[in-house]
Chains A and B, each alone.
Chain A
Amino acid sequence: MELSEAIYGCKKNNPTAQQYLFDQYSEQMYALCYRYVKNAEDAEELMLDGFFNFFRKIDHFLYSGESSVLPWLKKIMINECLMFLRKNKSFINIALEDYEDVSLSNQIIERISAKDIYRMILELPVGYRTVFNLFVIEGLSHKEIAKTLHITEGTSKSQLSKARNILQLMISKSESIKHKKLYG
């Protein structure tokens, strides 16, 4: 079954088509949800909610190639996660004024695997992690993040800076461990 057929079948409430789409994207979407909430049960629940909304609102979806499905599905999942986080009041709306704009080294990032980066992101506190996910991985601006999370732009910037600081510390620690393993 092709993706376009599956989308057409989903619009007709065809269970086979729905299962096909679910099998195609469920693991990726689960990983996305887990990156935001860092809890297996919550992530699965949010992933199911996201797919449910996807199937219910699929009539409004205009299929324009295979690349159009994933962004739409991701957007639905991110919205579900942010709603969940807002409901649980996971954010602290405090602008940290004494932050410094920290930059990570490209060479070090290139050496680190995607799995390691993923694990490091999961280690961040929920506020830092959410802003980092939205800014770095989803590509939203601070203004958009502030609007989405109902926080100020200053809070968004400071949380991102803190996230980068912590990530740098983690990367340097991981690099030193690797260096010790290699060279004793």
Chain B
Amino acid sequence: MDNQKTDELIREKINQLQIFPGNDKPDRQRSWERMQLRLSKPSSLRLNWWKYAAALLILMMGGYALFQLKQMNIPSSAKVEYPEKIEEGPEGMKSPEVTRNEGPSPLSPIKKIHGKKVFRFKVKEKGSIVTRTIKANDNNRGGELSPGNKNDSAIENNDHLYANKNENIKAVTPASKSIAIVYYNEIEQFKSSPTAPPETNKRLQIRLNTIENPSTNLLATQHSFINTLKINLSPENQQ
């Protein structure tokens, strides 16, 4: 209670003090001139700085959005062309018998389409020649992109391999080699080729990367099969 009364008394006395008691009070006219200077300054810069900041921010956001949009827009021509599906013949198609190949693949990428390494070869199917494109698997573990050997000549020279319908193809697998063989019944030797071997037993030699479960993963009708396997179609291997 005492403090309240004392406080009120002090408040009254201080509020009654109209004139500054010190000696260092400022000159009123000089102070007013300073005040006038402040008031005459254009306030547009003070008030409108945020407008410039907002415009700059919007520009930056627009640029960023445009950049993101360009990043997301993938051109349709860049899409990878997958090889055609191998259709089953009239007599059916046997499942591939595969064995693991320890050595490097004899195939090498022969062309780049939109920055992707691909293998291309031609195969006759149902009376027409079809160009097959196989995407190179960059994640393979066998280093199969090394330069090819003699057996690669058929691919490197763009030789064509034709097959007669309903021809039985028998595979001969050397015991010493670890290769994959696929039996097709629609493949025959290119008839017009003068260097073609007799149309007897022909085989497709397929060299594989390290595949954990080939019997389940390497069906000829699956894309993964084509993407993973490297097919050696050289004439020497068709003996």
Greatest chain A CB density within 10 A among B15, B19, B21, B36 is at B21
Residue of B nearest to A51 (CB): B35
Instruction: Report how far A105 CA is from B9 CA in the complex, Å.
Output: 11
With contacts A104-B3, A106-B6, A139-B11 taken as known, whether A19 is within 8 angstroms of B20 at the C-beta atoms is: no
**Tally of chain A residues near chain B (CB < 8 A):** 39
**A44–B35 alpha-carbon span in the complex (Å):** 11
Name the one of A35, A56, A136 contacting B10, with C-beta atoms under 8 angstroms.
A136
Given A114-B14, A115-B17: A22 and B3 interface contact (C-beta under 8 Å) = no
Contact between chains at A48 and B34 (CB < 8 Å): yes
Residue A8, interface by CB 8 Å = no
Residue of A nearest to B41 (CB): A52
Interface size, chain B (Cβ < 8 Å) = 30
Residues in A whose Cβ lies below 8 Å from that of B16? 114
Contact of B14 with A106 in the complex, beta carbons under 8 Å: no
Asked if A137 CB lies within 8 Å of chain B CBs, one says yes
State how many angstroms separate the Cβ of B214 from the closest Cβ of chain A: 74
Question: Please, how many angstroms separate the alpha-carbon atoms of A106 and B31 in the complex?
Answer: 38
Contacts A55-B39, A103-B3, A115-B17; A109 near B32 (Cβ below 8 A)? no
Tell me whether A36 is interfacial, beta carbon within 8 Å.
no
In the complex, A136→B39 CA distance in Å?
A: 34
Say if the beta carbon of B114 comes within 8 Å of chain A.
no
Could you name 15 residue pairs across A and B whose Cβ atoms are closer than 8 Å?
Answer: A19-B32, A23-B28, A27-B28, A34-B20, A51-B35, A56-B43, A103-B2, A114-B13, A114-B14, A114-B16, A136-B7, A137-B10, A137-B14, A139-B11, A164-B3
B18 beta carbon closer than 8 Å to chain A? yes
Nearest CB of A to B1, in Å: 9
List the A residue with the shortest CB-CB distance to B1: A103
Which residues of A39-85 have CB atoms within 8 Å of chain B's CB atoms? 40, 44, 47-48, 51-52, 55-56
Which residues of A are found within 8 Å of B18, using beta-carbon distances?
Answer: 27-28
- A117, B13: Cβ atoms under 8 Å? yes
Residue interface bits A10-41, CB-to-B below 8 A is 1, else 0: 00000100110011001110110011000010
- Determine the residue in chain B with the shortest Cβ distance to A13: B39
The answer to whether A30 touches B32, judged by C-beta atoms less than 8 angstroms apart, is no
Residues of A within 8 A of B38 (CB): 48, 52
Please tell me if B79 contacts chain A, counting CB pairs below 8 Å: no
Specify the chain A residue showing the minimal Cβ separation from B5: A106
Q: How far is the CA of A110 from the CA of B15 in the complex (A)?
A: 15
**Which residues from B are CB-within-8-Å of A135?**
7
Known: A48-B34, A137-B11. A106 touches B2 (CB 8 A): yes
Alpha-carbon gap, A18 to B35, bound state (A): 10
Smallest Cβ-Cβ distance to A164: which chain B residue: B3
A108-124 vs B, Cβ < 8 Å mask (1 yes, 0 no): 01100111011101000
In this assembly, does A5 line the interface, its C-beta being within 8 Å of a C-beta of chain B? no
Chain A residues 152-181 with CB under 8 Å of chain B are 164
Q: Are A27 and B19 in contact (CB under 8 A)?
A: yes
Which residue of A has the minimal Cβ distance to B20? A31
Does B90 count as interface, using CB distance less than 8 angstroms?
no
Q: Which of B9, B15, B39 contacts A109 (CB 8 A)?
A: B9
In the complex, the answer to whether A48 meets B3 with C-beta atoms within 8 Å is: no
The chain A residue sitting closest to B19, CB to CB, is: A27
Q: Is A97 an interface residue (CB 8 A)?
A: no
* Cβ–Cβ < 8 Å partners of A103 in chain B: 2-3, 6
Is A101 engaged at the interface, CB distance under 8 Å to the other chain? yes
